[in-house]
């Protein structure tokens, strides 16, 4: 039997990094999980057990901590670019590096009188900030996103007019609870971006768009949120959502002789509907730049 080695990579996953920036008047904290993956000419290690030129994964972990010293790692994309630049030059065998980053939010506690505490925190909410930076010595690709952003509206949503067949049991409604846990990923047209400002602004647009309309379906809301981001943020080329439908079912109290006028619901975990999709800018004929300066035919990579 003859075999060949296909695409492969290796790295260090779930490197837990906490950095405290100590200012005279306050401390800032950044809490990250970092994944490192390297690709390149690793055939000898797989075929002959020759590890020469191979960077140890333990070294990758140490590098993450060393390069975080004195650097604002809360700017995920910039820190990811710093790591990619280092790893693609660390060994001649490495041709490409991919860095995955997740920032776990912390919020300041309130001191006496209501002022933000200078060095005490509680776990934040509202979703994790995520980024993936991948590239070679010639440049990088940057993707940012949100994980675990749980949103709900108690009305302003329905589900009607869908296909009915012999197995349909769900009743149509024009008034239901709509809830989901937003996972979003978007790509930028360049690295000339204030990534931290952009992330907070895009998150704000997504949240506002979720609640600013009557939703006849999760699909409709997915498109609405994507269009709102692309309209508000010209540096974003496309955005992809994964939206599980976190069902809240009106509970049947009639069997107990009680009315239930959209008051009591049963929240279910599974099974659940899953709606996914990408909203992107329409191609410009010939691939010419659109009015906002972003090439619309394919992503601009740097």
Tens-digit pLDDT string for the chain (302 aa): 899 999 999 999 999 999 999 999 999 999 999 999 999 999 999 999 999 999 999 999 999 999 999 999 999 999 999 999 999 999 999 999 999 999 999 999 998 888 999 999 999 988 999 999 999 999 999 999 999 999 999 999 999 999 999 999 989 999 999 999 999 999 998 899 999 999 999 999 999 999 999 999 999 999 999 999 999 999 999 999 999 999 999 999 999 999 999 999 999 989 999 999 999 998 877 765 444 333 333 333 32
Token pair recorded at residue 158? 């329905």
| Residue-range definition of the domain harbouring residue 60 | 9-137
Catalytic annotation present for 12: yes
Number of domains in the chain: 2
How far are the Cα atoms of 29, 149, 241 from residue 204, in angstroms, in the given order? 22, 11, 15
Residue with tokens 């925190």: 121
Q: 179 and 77, same structural domain?
A: no
Q: 235 and 89, same structural domain?
A: no
Q: 285 and 213, same structural domain?
A: yes
Say how far apart CA 34 and CA 132 lie, in whole Å: 10
Q: 264 and 298, same structural domain?
A: yes
137, 161, 180: which is the final residue of a domain?
137
| CB proximity list for 162: less than 8 A, separation 6 or greater | 172
Say how far apart CA 79 and CA 189 lie, in whole Å: 18
Question: Which pLDDT value is given to residue 302?
Answer: 29
H or E element that contains 212: none
Question: Which pLDDT value is given to residue 297?
Answer: 31
Q: 128 and 156, same structural domain?
A: no
In a domain, 110, yes or no: yes
Catalytic annotation present for 221: no
Catalytic residue among 27, 33, 57, 59: 57
Q: 287 and 208, same structural domain?
A: yes
Q: 262 and 160, same structural domain?
A: yes
Question: Which pLDDT value is given to residue 287?
Answer: 61
- The DSSP output letter for 256 is G
Q: 170 and 250, same structural domain?
A: yes
Token pair recorded at residue 91? 């060994």
Q: 150 and 102, same structural domain?
A: no
Question: Which pLDDT value is given to residue 217?
Answer: 96
Catalytic annotation present for 27: no
Catalytic residue among 180, 240, 246, 247: 247
**What is the torsion angle, in degrees rounded to the nearest 10, for the CA atoms of residue 289, residue 293, residue 296 and residue 297?**
50
108, 137, 166: which is the final residue of a domain?
137
In a domain, 4, yes or no: no
- CATH number for the domain including 93? 3.10.270.10
Q: 106 and 13, same structural domain?
A: yes
H-only helix segments in 38-189: 43-48, 57-68, 76-90
In a domain, 180, yes or no: yes
Say how far apart CA 193 and CA 97 lie, in whole Å: 21
Q: 158 and 296, same structural domain?
A: yes
H or E element that contains 134: strand 128-136
- The DSSP output letter for 19 is E
What global pTM score does this model have? 0.88
Question: Which pLDDT value is given to residue 125?
Answer: 87
118, 137, 156: which is the final residue of a domain?
137
How far are the Cα atoms of 9, 39, 45, 141 from residue 97, in angstroms, in the given order? 9, 6, 18, 11
Q: What are phi and psi of 144, to 5 degrees?
A: -125, 170
């Amino acid at each position: 039997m003859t075999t060949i080695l296909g695409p492969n990579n290796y790295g260090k996953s779930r490197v837990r990094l906490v950095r405290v920036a100590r200012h005279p008047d306050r401390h800032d904290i950044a809490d990250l999980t970092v994944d490192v993956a390297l690709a390149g000419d690793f055939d000898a290690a797989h075929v002959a057990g020759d590890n020469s030129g191979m960077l140890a994964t333990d070294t990758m972990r140490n590098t993450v901590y060393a390069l975080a010293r004195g650097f604002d790692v809360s700017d995920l994309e910039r820190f990811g670019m710093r790591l990619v630049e280092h790893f693609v030059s660390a060994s001649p065998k490495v041709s490409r590096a991919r860095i995955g980053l997740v920032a776990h939010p912390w919020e300041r506690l309130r001191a006496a009188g209501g002022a933000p505490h200078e060095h005490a925190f509680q776990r934040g909410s509202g979703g994790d900030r995520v980024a993936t930076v991948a590239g070679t010595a010639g440049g990088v690709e940057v993707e940012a996103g949100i994980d675990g952003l749980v949103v709900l509206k108690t009305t302003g949503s329905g589900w009607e007019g869908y296909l009915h067949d012999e197995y349909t049991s769900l009743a149509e409604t024009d008034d239901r609870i709509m809830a989901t846990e937003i996972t979003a990923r978007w790509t930028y047209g360049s690295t000339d971006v204030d990534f931290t400002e952009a992330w907070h602004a895009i998150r704000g647009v997504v949240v506002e768009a979720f609640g600013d309309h009557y939703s006849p379906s999760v699909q409709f809301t997915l498109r609405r949120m994507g269009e709102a981001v692309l309209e508000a943020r010209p540096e974003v080329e496309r955005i992809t959502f994964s939206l599980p439908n976190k069902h809240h079912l009106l509970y049947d109290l009639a069997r107990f002789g009680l009315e239930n006028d959209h008051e009591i619901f049963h929240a279910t975990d599974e099974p659940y509907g899953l709606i996914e999709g990408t909203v992107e800018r329409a191609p410009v004929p010939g691939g010419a730049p659109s009015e906002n300066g972003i090439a619309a035919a394919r992503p601009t990579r740097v």
